[in-house]
Structure 1
Amino acid sequence: MRRGARRSFAVAWLALAFAACVRDPSPAPPPTHGQHPNDFFFARAAAERRGAYPRYFSREQVYWTAIGADGDDRSALLSEDGALEPARRSFTIEPFLAVDGRFVSWADAEIEHALRDGDLPIPRVVWRARPIDLTTRAFVAGLPGASVLYATYRLANHGGAPSRADLWLGIRPFQVNPPWQSLNGAGGATAVHRIAREGRVVRVNGRHAIALLTPPDAFGAARLDQGGLADFLARGALAPGRDAVFDAGGFASAAARWRFTLAPGQVAEVVIAVPLHEASAFLAALPRAADAATHAAAAEDATARRWRARLSRAEIALPPASDPIVPALRAALGQILVARAGPALQPGTRTYARAWIRDGVLMESALLQLGVAETPRDFVHWYAPFQEPDGRVPCCVDERGRDTAVEHDSPGQLLYGIASLWRYERDVETVRALWPHVPRTVDYIERLRAQRLGPEWAAPAKRRFRGLLPESISHEGYWQNPVHSYWDDAWALRGLADAALLARVVGGGAAAQRFAALERAFAKDLRASIEATMAHHRVDFVPASADLGDFDPTATTIWLAPGRARGVLPPAALERTYERYVDDVRGRRAGAIAWDAYAPYELRNVEALVRLGRRDDALFVLREILGDQRPPGWRGWSEIVWRDPRAPQFLGDMPHAWISATYARAVRSLLVYERDDGALVLGAGVPLDWLRGEGVRVARLPTHWGPLAYRMREAGERRLVVEIDAGVERPPGGVVVEPPVAIRAARVDGAPAETGSARAVTATRLPARIEIDY
């Protein structure tokens, strides 16, 4: 039989099995003039069987995760339904099954999700289509600039009788990003003009190469007017069963088929690979078809080993009662590293494929806090030269250069980013190399403040704005109407303190004194402004802006972490802010408060609650937001969480790496944080039930004073033991243990110890063994 006839016969056979797939079996007419392709496919999806098109064309939300090599500037997406997008705005590779003549799409299977080992950025999608399971695994192997996307499709027969299972992989003109992802380019349909198969390689648009490492039994490509993928799977009318097609409208599609008859317990595997960069070297050395599964398994194992080494530099061991906190923590680190492009730390790979200094320094600090130092160093050295000669720090940088939006949090963030490198690495030469940016940034902050220090700002109507930074749109809530945001001021105050520290590091005594004086003056003005704003708006909480007197605890948290709130924020207002916030979260979960959506940036509040001594509230908030990872097995968050998980609404990006960093910082704060007075605080967010059995153990955990290792556990009835190893230099404020109990008595290395109102024990020498009776 001729090859083309054999393919046509295979597709025709499939028509018998899939006769019910499509209500209207006629080929699809192309979109009308002026009709958006997404509108066309919304209509097509409504006319066809659910599952014939991606979930979003049924106007349902779809979730996804990113896959890439650490530091590469190209990455793939895998949807929760198993569609794989090799490159931004490229195409998708989507699986379908025929199980004993029964059509199976994402809509017909029970779907599960997981990461390799529960925390590595190697995702898995499992379709349970009894008796056949289809497991899709995707990973990116190799180094940045030479990486390769692999996907393996494993079919397993879990039934008691032989089963015929066909796997179809469709190449489709769609993205993983849904149509309502309209920022930085619309999602949904994309342009695929040309598909051509040459042996085991399929080329798409002449740019992308799909290596069919496991050769298929059948292959066919079609224009839209001949029938899209769903049409030809239903009709078997892919005549003449061609290997190549050109669609002027950009709606070409194709499918490859693998047919198996599986005995009970038998498995079969199909492997494909897509080079993410120049493909010729990879395509010239494809493994033999018989070795495809072995080749892919070896590449996946090597990739897993590389990720494990990268994500396990700091050791954190918590008891099972804490799950899934630690796996989600390691997954969060992987998400930050997958999202970055070279030195640029980015919050996402599609919608937010840009480097914000705001996001970047918090991702930098999360990586530093968990032992990944070289990436933060590269980021700060890369971003700092984008500073303007007048000292302005751009809010954002991408391939087009600096963003010119007026956002006044950036100066303080750059200073914080430079100081963070010093705190965790203590490398004087790094500070010297970056020092020219420090006085330039301080001068810029001083000039901004001067705009609100004239005599007119002493008038009663303007007094609450005196000494603040001018209006800006840096905080997301103010992008339409710039205001005097205390978010900006908190970052600037933090930056001035850091500038004084950096001046001392390089021996600039006069500069250090000047910067410290500027910080003190600014803190005084801020305290007066906040009190005036509270009085003006008649509020009892810390306001987020002087103009509005608005309640925004997630923004206010910056005052506490990483900010410097001591002596600035009214203590009673600070307590009321977080008391109200926790009440709101409880009301939201109980259904007592109406809500449509929230942002998991709220994880920042965990750090604030820990620092305020609200241990139980911190853990409650952490677990509530952990419950909104979608899908849970991939351990990632979108920027916006909608109450209705299938609402077709904007998500931001997934996984959102700034939120991943916020989570990482929050988890670390449960175990250790550095206090403004120079104390290293241990265990302030650890609950008592974590201390049973093996308890809590950390090792190689970076701090401002060196690597920390400690163990905290129960040791007999109503007694805790904390063992702190040497390695941390003596913090100025000592090592303070805040256990989850009221302390009755305590001993440090056998000697009675002060207990700080029964809440804390301080060790001034290390190593130390602390016994706490309660």
Structure 2
Amino acid sequence: MARTHEWMFYEVMWRSWADRARVPYPVPWWAQAAFRRWSDDFDAGTYESKEAAFSSNALYRYWHMVGVKDHRQESLIGQAGEIEPVYDKYCLAFFLYEPASGTVSVPQLTECGTVAQRMEAPHLPVVETTFRTPGGVEFTQRTFAAPVGPRQRDLTVTRLAVTAPSGPPREGWLCAAVLPAGPSGFQRHDRRDPGTTDRQLTFLRYLPDEARVETNSGWGPVFDTAPEHYGVYGNPDFASDPAAYLTRSPFHDLAVGGKLNAALQAQDQVAGLCSAAFAWPFRVADGEAFEIAVRLPVDLYSGAGDLAEIRATPAAELEEANRSFWTAKVLGQGVQPGLPGPVAHLTDLFRQARSQLLVLSDHGEIHPGPTVYDSFWIRDSSVEATACSLVGDAALAEHQLGTHYPLRFNRGTGRIGPCAEYGFYGGPHERDDREWDSNGQALWAIGRFDRTAGPGAAFGAKLYAPYVIDGARWLRDNRDAYGLLHSGWSAEHLGERDKPHYWDDLWGLAGLYEAARLAERLGTPEVRELWAAFDDLKQATAASIRWVLAEQRRLGEWETYIPTGPGDVGRRDSTMIGAAAYFHPLRLHMGGKLGDEVDLAARCTLDTMYGRFVTGGFRHEAAWNAYGPYLTLQLAHAYLLAGDAARMDALLGWTVAASLPRTDDRAVALGAWNEQHAFPIASGFAEVPYRHWYMGDIPHGWAAAEYLLLLRDILFFEADEDRDPHLYVAPGIRPHWVPDGEPVTVEAAPTLFGAPFGYRLTHDAAARAVAVDITESPERVRYVYPCRFGSVRAASADGRELPVSGDDVHVPEGTRRFEVTYA
């Protein structure tokens, strides 16, 4: 049964939407999307009612984000410029009012005007929103986050400028509205989190002497310039009729009566739907601009001293400092992919993904999202930290792995389900959901970072005992009767939590492999013990997969594929995506670590998934009923490593487009991914599922990390680090990416060999020739160039002819320049 505030919010939203021609109301984009193709079906396992699901925005979790690197709280930006500080219970939106005609123009409604949005630059977390009315008056809003004061506390700042077209001066009001609902919804709770995070605004007050708003018990917006008109609205007589909320609103008062109520304070103890509006009259002619700035405190502030600190630095200086910081960080440090014009947008997205991960880092913990996923998972963070270390943000990776992983290492003597507590990596997520993949992920990430940091950093030595050795022993000692890891949920895209998943075992193998190699590098006495643990899990995993393959053949299954686990013989659905981890990120195919039969089956599984579950992107109907952007990137990466660059390119192209969806000329996202990309948004509402679907956060940190890793490995990747170390150069560069005269470049890129790598590739189409200059490289590392332009005819290294066999050109270590001609 719906709670009162959920039912009231639902009623007010759809009635406002239905009455928008008479009284424009800023119904959020996500609510409009839900009303566009409404269904009473909802996820009853998660929500208690359709109103609760609607209030929680279960279907359309798309927005933009700004924030400060390494700080806790981000702010979300809606498709019409609305600002929602994630942990504060209000949203700030802007609109225009024309007193002469009584016209209220809210950018949320296409009937009121046009909206354009963009990131100011790919590396800058600054969202620019421009709203233009049919009469040509427009405002441009730039929103960013910045630290202020000696304690560098968070502040979100938005600067607005109103302009008008040529002709006579235009007059009107620029208005700001404080509302309870924002881009993420009206609340964030479900059956598992029954009542702690709804965003009800039960009390609202404007303090004109301070030009500041109070929202419940917290601070709301602070205005640089005090508004000339204001009104605060609530439910003073405790009305239970939704119609009362429609008439007691600033939008109704402006549209019907031409003024605001001038009240300073209001409360609503029924539904928590207080609202307020503030107005600044303007008169602008061609070439003129009327400007205001509003500051949103998103940290702990109190008292007159803190208010003075918030206002101390002019907004223009804060904006310039923000621009300087991100420019120096993202453009001045770390990997700078140099890609030709046809794919220069891939470099832009690379920089944006870097900045998103840095914003999602909370004091060294990278969280996979700003709202429902704003907490720490070993699984997500292992990929995120590895991506950061390989693109130049090593300090963040070191802090995450070296500080926060030990804090998740359990030292108790109890049990977690069928497993021992001691030695298990995990906090509440991993413990409660029995995510047995986490130990493998922790060991894998620690080992990979130790390689990247190099022996001088001694990173692995600092964590070896007890975090590596006892984490590895946990994997050895906590397995079922078949030698596999126990049933659990692990990654939610794998299927049911009451079954075992090969995903866990594959991660366990990768973690044990890295632990054993670290022990070898350190010369510890546990080397043989760790290799024995690896071999034992390897034999059990390979034997189980071979048994499943035989059972499927016995049952007449004509396709070869590895299902999600041994309890799912013949389960030919999209949960088999877990098998992609065999290639990426685990590299178990290198050296055929599970044997030829399993290796061939893993390759066939990629093709089975591509043929059955890819329509542009990877469709995950078995668990999510949505596209999986980061799963699509994983599949693309697996194809890159398996040698099929064409399919990699196709999957990458779809995913890049999925970061920039549009509906009704609105930018739904600006270069970011959800965990799930809804079929309606992906299809322009041509495909709306008959049943509910699942939606996670945006930006999704794991997806950003997957993109960084994929683009980096498209440029180069390492292989056989321990026996025959070599680098694949430009393995994913496609012919249509490289026109004549435009190079592909990489400079000072970190590698798993502990030393940087760089090169410059040029293509002469007329001569059908490729030249690669190695600008820096680790010692004792050879190269492999997989030519994607055509069949190799000849190759040379520093002027010496190389043998040619197939399209993989093998180049000796120490080479400074190699050249390849092709047919």
SS at match of 1:113: strand
Distance 2:153 2:124 in 1: 20
Do the aligned partners of residues 337 and 536 (structure 1) sit closer, same or farther apart at CA in structure 2, a change above 3 Å counting? Answer: same
In the TM superposition, residue 258 of structure 1 has moved relative to its aligned partner by: 1.4
Please, which moves more after superposition, 248-257 or 34-43?
34-43
In the TM superposition, residue 527 of structure 1 has moved relative to its aligned partner by: 1.9
SS at match of 1:674: strand
Distance 1:229 1:68 in 2: 30
Contact 2:163 2:285 in 1 (8 A): no
Q: Which residue of 1 aligns with 2:329?
A: 310
| Superposition map of 1:83-122 within 5 A | 83-98=82-97, 101=101, 102-105=103-106, 106-107=108-109, 108-122=112-126
SS at match of 1:570: helix
Distance 2:344 2:611 in 1: 25
Do the aligned partners of residues 486 and 710 (structure 1) sit closer, same or farther apart at CA in structure 2, a change above 3 Å counting? Answer: same
Q: Which residue identity is paired with 1:597?
A: A
Please, which moves more after superposition, 550-559 or 653-662?
550-559
* 1:738 equivalent in alignment to 2:786: yes
Do the aligned partners of residues 623 and 185 (structure 1) sit closer, same or farther apart at CA in structure 2, a change above 3 Å counting? Answer: farther
Q: Which residue of 2 aligns with 1:194?
A: 204
In the TM superposition, residue 392 of structure 1 has moved relative to its aligned partner by: 4.1
Do the aligned partners of residues 201 and 395 (structure 1) sit closer, same or farther apart at CA in structure 2, a change above 3 Å counting? Answer: same
Instruction: Provide Cα deviations, 1:291-314, integer angstroms capped at 9, x if missing partner.
Output: x9xx32321121122112222321
* 1:644 equivalent in alignment to 2:680: yes
Do the aligned partners of residues 94 and 373 (structure 1) sit closer, same or farther apart at CA in structure 2, a change above 3 Å counting? Answer: same
In the TM superposition, residue 322 of structure 1 has moved relative to its aligned partner by: 0.7
Q: Which residue identity is paired with 1:284?
A: A
Contact 1:168 1:257 in 2 (8 A): yes
Which of 558, 582, 591 is residue 559 of structure 1 equivalent to? 582
* 1:429 equivalent in alignment to 2:483: no
SS at match of 1:278: coil
Please, which moves more after superposition, 296-305 or 618-627?
296-305
Which of 215, 223, 226 is residue 212 of structure 1 equivalent to? 223
Distance 2:787 2:668 in 1: 31
Q: Which residue identity is paired with 2:673?
A: W
In the TM superposition, residue 735 of structure 1 has moved relative to its aligned partner by: 1.9
* 1:393 equivalent in alignment to 2:424: yes
Do the aligned partners of residues 259 and 480 (structure 1) sit closer, same or farther apart at CA in structure 2, a change above 3 Å counting? Answer: same
Q: Which residue of 2 aligns with 1:176?
A: 183
Please, which moves more after superposition, 479-488 or 156-165?
156-165
Contact 1:98 1:165 in 2 (8 A): yes
In the TM superposition, residue 180 of structure 1 has moved relative to its aligned partner by: 8.6
* 1:697 equivalent in alignment to 2:745: yes
Do the aligned partners of residues 685 and 161 (structure 1) sit closer, same or farther apart at CA in structure 2, a change above 3 Å counting? Answer: farther
Q: Which residue of 1 aligns with 2:564?
A: 544
Which of 630, 639, 651 is residue 621 of structure 1 equivalent to? 651
Instruction: Provide Cα deviations, 1:664-702, integer angstroms capped at 9, x if missing partner.
Output: 111112111122453211111101122322221111211
Q: Which residue of 2 aligns with 1:23?
A: none
The Cα RMSD (Å) is: 2.9
* 1:369 equivalent in alignment to 2:390: yes
Contact 1:356 1:397 in 2 (8 A): no
SS at match of 1:121: strand
* 1:685 equivalent in alignment to 2:732: yes
* 1:408 equivalent in alignment to 2:412: no
Contact 2:123 2:330 in 1 (8 A): no
Q: Which residue of 2 aligns with 1:254?
A: 276
Contact 2:89 2:199 in 1 (8 A): no
Which of 625, 629, 635 is residue 671 of structure 2 equivalent to? 635
Q: Which residue of 1 aligns with 2:538?
A: 523
* 1:278 equivalent in alignment to 2:300: yes
In the TM superposition, residue 543 of structure 1 has moved relative to its aligned partner by: 2.5
* 1:718 equivalent in alignment to 2:740: no
Percent identity, aligned pairs only?
22
SS at match of 1:220: strand
SS at match of 2:523: coil
Q: Which residue of 1 aligns with 2:319?
A: 300
SS at match of 2:703: helix
Unaligned runs of 5+ in 1: 1-30, 453-465
* 1:444 equivalent in alignment to 2:471: no
Contact 2:66 2:359 in 1 (8 A): yes
Q: Which residue of 1 aligns with 2:527?
A: 512
Instruction: Provide Cα deviations, 1:602-643, integer angstroms capped at 9, x if missing partner.
Output: 211111111111111101000111111244762001111112
Please, which moves more after superposition, 247-256 or 480-489?
247-256
* 1:55 equivalent in alignment to 2:25: no
Q: Which residue identity is paired with 2:373?
A: Y
Instruction: Provide Cα deviations, 1:376-411, integer angstroms capped at 9, x if missing partner.
Output: 11111212232112444344458xxx7432111011
Do the aligned partners of residues 142 and 180 (structure 1) sit closer, same or farther apart at CA in structure 2, a change above 3 Å counting? Answer: closer
In the TM superposition, residue 246 of structure 1 has moved relative to its aligned partner by: 3.5
In the TM superposition, residue 177 of structure 1 has moved relative to its aligned partner by: 0.9
Do the aligned partners of residues 397 and 237 (structure 1) sit closer, same or farther apart at CA in structure 2, a change above 3 Å counting? Answer: farther
Contact 2:564 2:577 in 1 (8 A): no
Unaligned runs of 5+ in 2: 36-59, 237-246, 412-420, 554-558, 662-666
Do the aligned partners of residues 725 and 227 (structure 1) sit closer, same or farther apart at CA in structure 2, a change above 3 Å counting? Answer: same
Distance 2:386 2:4 in 1: 51
In the TM superposition, residue 749 of structure 1 has moved relative to its aligned partner by: 0.5
Contact 1:483 1:547 in 2 (8 A): yes
In the TM superposition, residue 319 of structure 1 has moved relative to its aligned partner by: 1.1
Please, which moves more after superposition, 358-367 or 715-724?
715-724
Contact 2:201 2:215 in 1 (8 A): no
Please, which moves more after superposition, 122-131 or 406-415?
122-131
SS at match of 1:147: strand
SS at match of 1:545: coil
In the TM superposition, residue 743 of structure 1 has moved relative to its aligned partner by: 1.1
Q: Which residue identity is paired with 2:439?
A: P
Instruction: Provide Cα deviations, 1:250-286, integer angstroms capped at 9, x if missing partner.
Output: 3321111112222123322221012222335452156
Distance 1:405 1:325 in 2: 36
Do the aligned partners of residues 719 and 585 (structure 1) sit closer, same or farther apart at CA in structure 2, a change above 3 Å counting? Answer: farther
Contact 2:582 2:602 in 1 (8 A): no
Please, which moves more after superposition, 147-156 or 45-54?
45-54
In the TM superposition, residue 585 of structure 1 has moved relative to its aligned partner by: 5.8
Contact 1:172 1:229 in 2 (8 A): no
Q: Which residue of 2 aligns with 1:490?
A: 506
Distance 1:185 1:306 in 2: 40
Q: Which residue of 2 aligns with 1:142?
A: 147
Do the aligned partners of residues 754 and 180 (structure 1) sit closer, same or farther apart at CA in structure 2, a change above 3 Å counting? Answer: farther
Do the aligned partners of residues 65 and 530 (structure 1) sit closer, same or farther apart at CA in structure 2, a change above 3 Å counting? Answer: same
In the TM superposition, residue 479 of structure 1 has moved relative to its aligned partner by: 5.7
SS at match of 2:337: strand
Distance 2:785 2:655 in 1: 27
Q: Which residue of 2 aligns with 1:668?
A: 712
